[in-house]
């Protein structure tokens, strides 16, 4: 149980284009989803917290107009990187917590590697 699916696993795009990443909780309802960014050999940096049906809460320094987050249902959250540039290349990972599963345990997706040319 507690499976989080992330799609796509790898994406290459041209500079200036937008990329959408999906995060789905497959076997539980995710009351809260989190989006992280991870650079090579570094730790996970929280970008934003997303609650179903409400606006995402962004961490300090994260541009909300550049990283659009939508959490339209209890099983799906999306992160859209708008007008992507090479410096946005990174590993993006989502996680989710739910009411029916152990409190405070974030279950993670497999991540999406974004390469912007």
Beta bridge partners of 108: 95
Q: Are 4 and 95 in contact (CB under 8 A)?
A: yes
Minimum distance, C-beta of residue 92 to other proteins, in the bound complex (Å) = 10
Comparing CA positions, the residue from 36, 32, 38 lying closest to residue 71 is 32
Residue 67 binding other proteins, by CB under 8 A:
no
Among 78, 81, 107, 116, binds other proteins (CB under 8 A): 107
Residue 54 binding other proteins, by CB under 8 A:
no
Comparing CA positions, the residue from 101, 88, 103, 115 lying closest to residue 4 is 101
Comparing CA positions, the residue from 106, 89, 104 lying closest to residue 35 is 106
Q: Are 89 and 11 in contact (CB under 8 A)?
A: no
Give 1 or 86: the residue with its C-beta nearer to other proteins. Answer: 1
Residue 49 binding other proteins, by CB under 8 A:
yes
Minimum distance, C-beta of residue 52 to other proteins, in the bound complex (Å) = 14
Which residues are at the interface with other proteins (CB under 8 A)? 4, 6, 32, 34, 42-46, 49, 93, 95, 97, 104-111, 113
């Amino acid at each position: 149980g507690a499976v989080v699916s992330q799609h796509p696993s790898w994406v290459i795009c041209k500079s200036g284009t937008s990329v959408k990443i999906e995060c789905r909780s497959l076997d539980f309802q995710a009351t809260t989803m989190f989006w992280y960014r991870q650079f090579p050999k570094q730790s996970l940096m929280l970008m934003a917290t997303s609650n179903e049906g409400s606006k995402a809460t962004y961490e300090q320094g994260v541009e909300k107009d550049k990283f659009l987050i939508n959490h339209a249902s209890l099983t799906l959250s999306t992160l859209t990187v708008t007008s992507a540039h090479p410096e946005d290349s990174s590993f993006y990972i989502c996680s989710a917590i739910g009411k029916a599963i152990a409190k405070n345990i974030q279950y993670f997706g497999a991540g999406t590697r974004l390469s912007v040319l």
